[in-house]
Structure 1
């Protein structure tokens, strides 16, 4: 088994639990961050350049 195949197997095992782990972390540490980010984004006009967004 090549090194790439071994690494792929490791990442495939990690991917199984990724969503569950991230869901816990988001609930625990980020709580209302998504709502805040969405509110910030809705105040900006996306014009293709982040420099033009005056949030």
Structure 2
């Protein structure tokens, strides 16, 4: 039950990150690469947390 919630949370985070990256114009993303890098690291962090939860509740 808990792992389904973590997968849904990770999927929601991935959709939010993808939407925020595609909604920005290209010139602002070129000027600010740190914002894209932080969103990618946030996505990776949530993915690793959900993997840890999956392994903990098996």
Task: Please say whether Structure 1 and Structure 2 have the same fold, judged by a TM-score greater than 0.5.
Answer: no
Normalised by the size of structure 1, how large is the TM-score? 0.33
* TM-score normalised by L of structure 2: 0.32
More helix by share: 2
Which structure: larger Rg? 1
Name the structure, 1 or 2, with higher relative contact order (CA <8 Å, separation 6+).
Answer: 2
